[in-house]
Amino acid sequence: RKEVEQDPGPFNVPEGATVAFNCTYSNSASQSFFWYRQDCRKEPKLLMSVYSSGNEDGRFTAQLNRASQYISLLIRDSKLSDSATYLCVVNLDSGGYQKVTFGTGTKLQVIP
């Protein structure tokens, strides 16, 4: 089983649609979780952290289910500018630095 698994997509959705991405992780000791966004030929950039209580940032909502080792990202009212690859990231704090594992990413294409 991969350490972090994501559906690679692509997800092709019309503008204004709601889209959800899922991610599962294998190490139950993982401590922190993030969603990053990577545009084509650019570096990954932090989208949002994921907290157990769930958190929202504008049109984006992230959820964590530790019991099921599952993370989700919901995007409401999709914009063309949301087109990118969304990377699920799982961290394990290891004495002052993070052992970081990236998922393969889910590609989103928002269509006019």
Q: Give the footprint of another protein on this chain (CB under 8 A).
A: 4, 31-32, 34, 41-46, 49, 87, 91-105
**Residue 72 DSSP SS3:** strand
φ/ψ (deg, to 5) at 81: -70, -5
Residue 95 DSSP one-character state: S
CB of 16 to another protein, least distance (A): 29
Closer CB to another protein, 22 or 32, in the complex: 32
Closer CB to another protein, 77 or 93, in the complex: 93
Distance from C-alpha of 55 to C-alpha of 109, rounded to nearest angstrom: 24
CB of 50 to another protein, least distance (A): 11
